[in-house]
């Protein structure tokens, strides 16, 4: 099928091309799309060079699916135009996530709700995706009451300019454009996205609201603190989960070992636990440090790590496209 990648020159767009190639998605024609300043440039895919086109040419080419990673304002403007042309849009921005008329999809959890009418499909926030992949099978068994999450998020979540800032600071180079309000190297910033009137950041509230929507349960209480750290391999999360029902730790491990897309790395005696360094470039979500919270009943502590450019963005979007194809919705 014809597939467009909108925002093909960006960090996530490049990762989407890589994931489409690695997973051998059945593409008959790739249409790389970017803003006017990138039109005419080339991208490589499966050993061939493809010329970047503009938005109007992409719509005229009538791809079956357009995977967007071009920012919220671009998506709000252009996704409806693609959809009106009968093209499925899988959007990686925050533009459509909380729109009640749009599905917010993590394939392991709720892809089965998709229909041919869902022309604009929202890809969730990176930090939310990796958390709910682990939470959902536990929720089915024990029913989650409350989640307290603190994140340790890679600079790659901000984009290429943030990676450039980190390495420039490491070299003592002051000439590179700053995307953070403070140095990031040898530092930790408790500040991701903008601060809201309630004192939380937009990123924190994304985790609160998206978790409920994806898991289809407004009763789950979520509170989050999101933190940027100087790593590039992926996002990490310390997650505290209070259940309505008690659990057995061995049963928890067994549930997670069977959960789709989840890999258990939980052997602390041998220093085995998830890390961004070892999650980098992988599609799975890794979970470890599985232990009971001894301060209150029915409560579990977990450590969750995933590559935010892969499962947190590109891989999840491609998995949605695979579902549309496999189930003949497209």
pLDDT at 52: 96
Cα-based angle 132, 137, 138 (whole degrees, multiple of 5): 90
Q: Which token pair is 65?
A: 């699916």
Helix (H, G, I), strand (E, B) or coil at 96: coil
Q: What is the pTM of this model?
A: 0.95
Half-sphere exposure of 16 (CA within 13 A, CB side): 34
CA distances from 220 to 53, 62, 130, 207 (A): 44, 41, 17, 12
CA distances from 324 to 97, 114, 244 (A): 18, 8, 35
Q: Which residues pair with 4 in a beta bridge?
A: 31, 66
Between strands 65-68 and 88-91, the pairing is: parallel
Contacts of range 252-255, beta carbons closer than 8 Å, 24 or more positions apart: 252/138, 252/290, 252/300, 253/290, 255/137, 255/138, 255/141
CATH homologous superfamily of domain 2-124+313-326?
A: NAD(P)-binding Rossmann-like Domain (3.40.50.720)
From CA 255, how far away is CA 248, in angstroms rounded? 11
Q: What's the gap between Cα 78 and its chain centre?
A: 21
Q: What is the DSSP string of 182-206?
A: S--TT--BS--S-B-TTS-BHHHHH
From CA 96, how far away is CA 79, in angstroms rounded? 10
End-to-end CA distance of the chain: 9
Which DSSP symbol is given to 124? P
CB burial string 69-99: b at 16+ within 10 A, e below: bbbeebbeebbeebbeeebbbbbbbbbbbee
| Residue 285 CB coordination number (10 Å) | 29
The answer as to CATH 3.40.228.10 being correct for domain 127-308 is: no
Q: For 121, phi and psi rounded to 5 degrees?
A: -115, 130
Give me the residue spans of the domains in the chain: 2-124+313-326, 127-308
Q: Which of 93, 172, 101, 115 is nearest to 330 (CA)?
A: 115
Q: Which of 168, 161, 197 is nearest to 185 (CA)?
A: 168
pLDDT, one tens digit for every residue, the chain (330 residues): 999 999 999 888 999 999 999 999 999 999 999 988 899 999 999 999 999 999 999 999 999 999 999 889 999 999 999 999 999 999 999 999 999 999 999 999 999 999 999 999 999 999 999 999 999 999 999 999 999 999 999 999 998 899 999 999 999 999 999 999 999 999 999 999 999 999 999 999 999 999 999 999 999 999 999 999 999 989 999 999 999 999 999 999 999 999 999 999 999 999 999 999 999 999 999 999 999 999 999 999 999 999 999 999 999 999 999 999 999 999
pLDDT at 11: 85
From CA 213, how far away is CA 262, in angstroms rounded? 21
232 within 8 A of 299, measured Cβ to Cβ: no
Enzyme catalytic residues: 126, 235
137 within 8 A of 256, measured Cβ to Cβ: yes
Q: Which token pair is 250?
A: 């061995």
């Amino acid at each position: 099928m014809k597939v467009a990648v909108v925002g093909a020159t960006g960090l996530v767009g490049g990762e989407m091309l890589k994931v489409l190639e690695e997973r051998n998605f059945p593409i008959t024609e790739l249409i790389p799309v970017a803003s006017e300043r990138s039109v005419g440039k080339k991208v490589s895919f499966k050993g061939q060079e493809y010329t970047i086109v503009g938005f109007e040419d992409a719509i005229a080419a009538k791809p079956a699916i357009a995977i967007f990673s071009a920012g919220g304002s671009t998506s709000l403007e252009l996704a409806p135009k693609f959809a009106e042309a009968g093209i499925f849009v899988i959007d990686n921005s925050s533009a459509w996530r909380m729109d009640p008329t749009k599905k917010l999809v993590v394939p392991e959890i709720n892809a089965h709700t998709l229909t041919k009418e869902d022309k604009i499909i929202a890809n969730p926030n990176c930090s939310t995706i990796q958390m709910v992949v682990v939470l959902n099978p536990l929720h089915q068994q024990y029913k989650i009451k409350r989640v307290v999450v603190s994140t340790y998020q890679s600079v790659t979540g901000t984009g290429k300019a943030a990676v450039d800032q980190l390495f420039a600071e490491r070299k003592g180079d002051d000439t590179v454009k700053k995307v953070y309000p403070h140095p990031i190297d040898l530092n930790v910033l408790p500040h991701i996205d903008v601060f809201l009137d309630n004192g939380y950041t937009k990123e924190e509230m994304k985790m609160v609201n998206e978790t409920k929507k994806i898991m289809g349960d407004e009763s789950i209480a979520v509170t989050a603190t999101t933190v940027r750290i100087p790593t590039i391999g992926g996002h990490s999360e310390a997650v505290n989960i209070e259940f309505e029902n008690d659990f057995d730790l061995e049963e928890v491990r067994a549930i997670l070992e069977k959960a789709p897309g989840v890999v258990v790395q939980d052997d602390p005696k041998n220093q085995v636990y998830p890390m961004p360094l070892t999650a980098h470039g992988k599609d799975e979500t890794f979970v470890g440090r599985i232990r009971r919270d001894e301060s209150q009943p029915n409560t579990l502590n977990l450590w969750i790590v995933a590559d935010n450019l892969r499962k947190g963005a590109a891989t999840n979007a491609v998995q949605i496209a695979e579902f549309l194809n496999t189930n003949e919705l497209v």
